[in-house]
Structure 1
Amino acid sequence: MRIFHELTRRSGIHGASHPVRRTPYDKARLVARHLTGLVTRNPFLGSYDALVVPHPRKPGGVEIYTDELRTILGDRALILDSGINGTPLPGSRNLDFFTSAAGAVHRRQVGDRGISTALRELTGVSVPVGSLLAREVAKHQRLRALYRRLLRKHRIETVYVVVAYFHQHIVGAARDLGIRVVELQHGAISQFHLGYSYPGRPAVADQPDELWCFGSYWTDVADLPAGMTTSVIGTSHLPRAAQKDPRLAVFLSQGTIGAELLHVAESVAKVDPSLDVVFRLHPSERASDYTIPAGVRLSTDGSTLDLLASATYQVGVSTTALFEGMALGCRTAVANLPGHEYLARPITRGHALLMTSPNQLTSAPLCSTPEAYYAPSTLRSGLAADQAE
């Protein structure tokens, strides 16, 4: 995944997907939090039988993917929430000091057996594979051993994790000990997503046992690794339907294609001045990243989901918010930009329109089966059945 991000960034196809920008002051504060956390957020203290690893992104202070799960599990669950790239949940624990330290000491480079050369010959782009291997493999091995100690200490029975492909040290430690690992879906999955798509379903090391999905659409949209099963547990994080504004058209930005999408928004505003064209930033973006043209309104405050609940039209490329908007009754257009392939199946099914011209937006369709993407939550009954077994 890291090599892919470097390849697309250095080739100019995409920008940084979730850019992290820290000043020297930010870095000093982070070190201070790490040291404080050694005492105040030590996860080796207490007694638990489940481990929950939430998503670092928390719109409005709420981590939507594990919120219901954490409520149901209550004091049984150790919440391990990093503060490195976000604000940790109240009462959570972390091993941030060790996470940062594990990646700080390593060789500058290791041999990559010609991978860098082969990749450059294939794509014309140089990626420092040897440097990535030197840092990431050493970090993984150290953290995997540390998490084995943590899981043994608490006799954890189930690990629940969001974004498992960025927590493979935790997943690997659990698999070493024969502990069940459940991943909770956090975003769009497709055959192009390197975190989930393994054509032919080969055996892949350090993968979860189960993937709990928002709806039935996600259970077969990509070839998961051999042995990984899927279940539909639905979701409770979508707001209720709201009164639709017939003029509101929301453009859902992402760091990878934000500048290009803004040009599309400008074109739509020029073609149809009656529309209220809103350019909604991704949480990892900043207003200073863009110069907003006339006819387009920038949106950074409040909830993206609440905004989509009142919008008639939505436009994006590959963001998860497009699927959420379909479930919230938006007419959906997919901009013809790199990454639109993620929405190929909804487009084929008539749930979305591939927009190649700005005057097509008002012809965008409604999704006829939104529950296929976001079903009502069955998490409570599912966990009860697990415990009964």
Structure 2
Amino acid sequence: MDLNLKNFAKIEQKYNVTETVVNGVYIWDYIRFGVYNEIREKLSGNVAHDRPKKTLTNKLRKVSLLIKNLIYKNPFLEEEKGCILYGHERRKKENDEYYWDIYTDTIHDLCSIDGVSFESDHLLKHNTPAKTDELRYLDLVKYGSSIFGKLARHIPNIPDSEMSKLESIEYTIQRKFGVSVSIVNRIMQKLSQRKFEIFMYKLVLQSISPKIAVVVVSYGKETFIEACQSLNIPVIELQHGYISDNHSGYHFPGSLKKEYFPDYLLTWGSHWSNAASFPISNENVIEVGFPYIEQKKKKIDPTNNEIILFISQGTVGKELSRFAVSVANQLDNRYKVVYKLHPGEYKRWEDEYSWLLHDEITVISDEKQSLYRLFSRAILQVGVNSTALFEGTYFDVPTLLYTETPSKVSSILIDKSGAKRVTTVRDVIRSIGVEKKVIPNKHMFFSKNAKSKMCSTLSSFID
């Protein structure tokens, strides 16, 4: 059986997994995204994001983060605020030399909101200096709860009936997709950490007493959301990337549901508001736009179109990077291939994509060069299914999709933005010289007046 969310959902519905309650917890909410992602990675051999290795050095770094958090940016010492903004752990260095959370720092910068940001570490570090001073780290909660769970030797009790169901799901996944995943172990680990984590989150929330909590990337933040729900604090998610009916963090077809999902989802545009079956009512999915891209485009002056920009991502990086090399070998001197890595590829590309160490290709492996400035220089953008391709349409860059098999992303970009599918170097060469025109449907992806809509929407929840 091919792996896609439709086939995966059939297994979920067969075993009624989203109704599964263990120790009073809707446990499938906590593991769904991780299970689906593990299957995908084992089948494809591609890893979407870097992860810290399980070494003694990294264990000590976790302890160090926890100790530092006792005295520096301790969330338990924060005063009352109207809003908590639990942002993206990966910050981006901007021209002002500050590291931005492009989702939440934009709100701090543009909107008059009484809020404090929460941040988890990214690969065992926090990038500094951060753009906002209203920032608290969550290392105490994240690693403190893990340590307490191990010291207390808390072993969750899974009833026999539920254990049998979970083992049946493991067997079905093995039979249908040909890979093994340990669902029971995932659940035991999550329940053990959650016991202390939710207690700590509740203490922080009660101390700050926010009227709303805003999150970026809700999957993986289930304990925080559950804690907010228990204290009647509305949770609002900001869209951070691609949403579709093949995204296990957002699409819950038929009878499937998710208890620990935000109460509201603020999307970039009308297309995204209708791209999946969300586990909340339609009126709670609100189109506001993406203030960050809107503000950045205003500041970038048009330049000469001189590069062919490849947009990479971990799941397709090997194939796409080889194709980029082939294209570079056939270009004349008027144009240059620029290969923009996904941040999750920065640390491993030289080992995994060694063929990119090539005189004819410029590899962007850090945040020093703005992606949006690259769009302003691009005559073409080439990719597979990266969210950045949609951002490129906002800059009116013609899109080439390197794929033989039609996908949801390619179909959308072809239908809405005039993208073309390519499979050979010759296809790319033929596309050079296409006049850069305004893409008429780009505001379906990125709504107009994003700053005004975002600020007024959040203010309406607080006031």
Any idea what SS the aligned residue of 1:165 has? coil
- Aligned-partner residue type, residue 277 of structure 1: V
Give the structure 1 partner of residue 339 of structure 2. Answer: 279
1:51 to 61, 64, 84: 84
2:288 to 220, 226, 233: 233
Give the structure 1 partner of residue 221 of structure 2. Answer: 167
- Aligned-partner residue type, residue 286 of structure 2: S
Give the structure 1 partner of residue 319 of structure 2. Answer: 260
More displaced stretch, 51-60 vs 292-301? 292-301
Q: TM-score, normalised by structure 2?
A: 0.76
Q: Does 1:369 align with 2:441?
A: yes
- Aligned-partner residue type, residue 56 of structure 1: E
Cα 1:383–1:102 shift into 2, 3 Å: closer
Give the structure 2 partner of residue 381 of structure 1. Answer: 456
Give the structure 1 partner of residue 72 of structure 2. Answer: 40
- Aligned-partner residue type, residue 99 of structure 1: K
> Alpha carbon RMSD of aligned pairs, Å?
2.7
- Aligned-partner residue type, residue 188 of structure 1: Y
Equivalent pair of 2:76/2:204 in contact (CA under 8 Å):
yes
1:288 to 350, 355, 364: 350
Equivalent pair of 2:403/2:421 in contact (CA under 8 Å):
yes
Q: Deviation digits for residues 113-136 of structure 1, max 9, x if unmatched?
A: 322211101111111222212212
The unaligned stretches of length 5 or more in structure 1 are none
Identical aligned pairs, as a percentage? 25
Give the structure 1 partner of residue 50 of structure 2. Answer: 19
Q: Deviation digits for residues 167-186 of structure 1, max 9, x if unmatched?
A: 11111111122211100010
Equivalent pair of 2:156/2:191 in contact (CA under 8 Å):
no
Q: Where do 1:262-341 residues align within 5 Å? A: 262-274=321-333, 275-285=335-345, 286=347, 287-289=349-351, 290-291=353-354, 292=356, 293=358, 295-300=360-365, 301-336=368-403, 340-341=407-408
Give the structure 2 partner of residue 10 of structure 1. Answer: 42
Q: Does 1:224 align with 2:278?
A: yes
- Aligned-partner residue type, residue 458 of structure 2: L
Equivalent pair of 1:57/1:63 in contact (CA under 8 Å):
yes
- Aligned-partner residue type, residue 297 of structure 1: T
Equivalent pair of 1:246/1:312 in contact (CA under 8 Å):
yes
Q: TM-score, normalised by structure 1?
A: 0.90
More displaced stretch, 274-283 vs 133-142? 133-142
Cα 1:244–1:268 shift into 2, 3 Å: farther
CA distance in 2, matches of 1:182, 1:339: 33
CA distance in 1, matches of 2:122, 2:246: 28
Equivalent pair of 1:38/1:95 in contact (CA under 8 Å):
no
- Aligned-partner residue type, residue 280 of structure 1: K
Cα 1:41–1:210 shift into 2, 3 Å: same
Aligned residues between the structures: 387
Cα 1:14–1:338 shift into 2, 3 Å: farther
Any idea what SS the aligned residue of 2:363 has? strand
Cα 1:303–1:107 shift into 2, 3 Å: farther
Give the CA deviation at 1:270: 3.4
Equivalent pair of 2:382/2:400 in contact (CA under 8 Å):
yes
Give the structure 1 partner of residue 27 of structure 2. Answer: none
Give the CA deviation at 1:294: 5.2
Q: Deviation digits for residues 175-225 of structure 1, max 9, x if unmatched?
A: 122211100010111111100111237442111111111112111011111
More displaced stretch, 155-164 vs 94-103? 94-103
More displaced stretch, 179-188 vs 298-307? 298-307
Cα 1:247–1:68 shift into 2, 3 Å: closer
The unaligned stretches of length 5 or more in structure 2 are 1-32, 94-98
Equivalent pair of 2:306/2:377 in contact (CA under 8 Å):
no
Equivalent pair of 1:192/1:342 in contact (CA under 8 Å):
no
CA distance in 2, matches of 1:210, 1:311: 36
- Aligned-partner residue type, residue 322 of structure 2: H
Equivalent pair of 2:141/2:201 in contact (CA under 8 Å):
no
Cα 1:242–1:355 shift into 2, 3 Å: farther
